[in-house]
Structure 1
């Protein structure tokens, strides 16, 4: 088993509870952690057995920038589900999403949601 992390990817998306959030959009910061089912990543040195980080980035970008979600948990789950569907040698896929601009009446850095999906 191996873990691969891609940290602090930044995308502009249109997600949120309120209509103005889904119309105006904002920046979202996303971390992804992938755990493989076995050690092929280190044993074979073949891309097909490992994690193509550029392809993972493209999947996260597509989902974040081209779809709209009300809840960050749904967006996070969609990322994990898509990664597991495309790569059967992944055991788990975690997506952590930070949203800095939230309609909360007080000072905060961001709201963060983390969802871990498991291969079935």
Structure 2
């Protein structure tokens, strides 16, 4: 059985990108994560210690987004997935990193990378 916790639209400023100006000026990144885990223990006990505290997870994810820069959002997505999987209860995670201010010289709605990682 797999249950889901979703956190969508988490926004933080980061300094990621291939171009120097992206790494100097920074930009907003928007992240969606989905955690796959068994939520029955939390439902049974009604105790937050039996689940992933999504408020604390949000803080950890923001620390990654605003932390050391990387060139690719693929790398950022992997770091975020690793953060989600640090909790042994999480069996798998899907992470989407949106880069709404990507330096694309054309009008666009969104650019994003989505990865799914499972615990080995």
Relative to the length of structure 2, the TM-score reads 0.91
DSSP 3-state at the match of 2:28:
strand
Any idea what SS the aligned residue of 2:66 has? helix
User: What RMSD, in angstroms, separates the aligned Cα atoms of the two structures?
Assistant: 1.4
User: What is the rounded CA distance, in whole Å, between the counterparts of 1:64 and 1:54 in structure 2?
Assistant: 15
Q: Which residue of 1 aligns with 2:47?
A: 46
Per-residue deviation, residues 55-113 of structure 1 (Å, max 9, x unmatched): 1101100000012111101101111112212x101111221111111222211022111
Which residue matches 2:31? 30
Partner of 1:3: 4
Residue of structure 2 in register with 1:81 after alignment: 82
Q: Does 1:99 align with 2:99?
A: yes
Conservation of the 8 A alpha-carbon contact between 2:39 and 2:51: no
Match of 2:71 in 1: 70
Q: Distance in 2 between matches of 1:11 and 1:24?
A: 14
TM-score normalised according to structure 1 size: 0.91
Q: Distance in 1 between matches of 2:65 and 2:79?
A: 9
Q: For structure 2, which runs of at least 5 residues remain unmatched after alignment? A: none
How many pairs does the alignment contain? 119
| Distance across 2 between alignment mates of 1:92 and 1:45 | 23
4+ residue runs of structure 1 moved beyond 4 angstroms? none
